[in-house]
Homo-oligomer: A and B are copies of this chain.
Amino acid sequence: MEYIKNRRTIRKYKQEDIAADLLNELLEDSFRASTMGNMQLYSVVVTRDKQMKEKLAPAHFNQPMVMNAPVVLTFCADFNRFSKWCRCRKAEPGYDNPISFLNAATDALLVTQNFCTLAEAHGLGICFLGTTIYNPDKIVEILQLPKLVMPVATITVGYPDESPAQPERLPLEGLVHDETYHDYTPTDIDRIYAAKEAMPENRHFVTINHKETLAQVFTDLRYKKADNEYMSDVLKKTLKQQGFDK
């Protein structure tokens, strides 16, 4: 399992296709992840077509990985298939509500991570696009997702054409709590974030953005309150449109 420890996100890929058999094998194995009541509340849409990538790219803020990767996978929370099965079997499904969305999203995200691990074990590189839930309405339209299907994660996959440095992580003590949550004092925060803040690349990041602190780069430029509020509205509307909040 050393490669899980040593993994890096890969954003540049060789112009080499992924064989359909390999992709199917990785997907099939990934579906061995835990799933609620063995309902398998997910679907995966595979994008290989250039025109489809061109349509998807803007929904991912034109991050170049979408066009550059041979395969783009959109993992969806899916209560449509299960509900259709119920209706075909004289059973009345009751999954048009927020808890069902979260159950299906959970199933889908466990499969997503399982797929990433399997892909990396086979020499592929992946990039997780967090943008999926920022523009779910656009992705729903492009991929023609019916009601009770909601995109929750997008992965670009391909053979790596770069070997970036491994990014830092916070120390374990900052993330793990014994028995109960021990809330952070300002001294804890100083200690937990010290190494991250001291890194030359992070200091450079502060300088070039003309900010006083690294945190300000996040709050003022990268993940702004106004954007989060706008995207929360889109998320809520799309969940309603997709039938998860009747």
Binary CB contact string for chain A from 47 to 76 against chain B (1 if under 8 A, 0 otherwise)? 111001000000000000000000000001
15 A-B residue pairs with Cβ-Cβ distance under 8 Å, sorted by A, are A28-B169, A37-B222, A40-B169, A42-B175, A45-B177, A48-B179, A86-B215, A88-B190, A89-B213, A91-B213, A92-B219, A94-B226, A99-B134, A110-B116, A113-B117
B residues less than 8 Å from A39 (CB atoms)? 218, 223
A152 to B27, CA, bound (A): 24
B residues less than 8 Å from A52 (CB atoms)? 179-180
* A241 on the B face (CB < 8 A): no
Asked if A117 and B179 sit within 8 Å, CB to CB, the answer is no
* A210 on the B face (CB < 8 A): no
B residues less than 8 Å from A226 (CB atoms)? 94
B residues less than 8 Å from A40 (CB atoms)? 169-170, 175
Q: Which residues does A use to contact B, with CB under 8 Å?
A: 1, 4-7, 9, 24, 27-34, 36-40, 42-49, 52, 76, 80-82, 84-86, 88-95, 97-100, 102-103, 105-106, 109-110, 112-114, 116-118, 121-122, 126-128, 130, 133-134, 142-146, 149, 152-153, 167-170, 172, 174-181, 183-184, 186, 189-190, 192-193, 212-216, 218-220, 222-226, 228-229, 231-232, 235-236
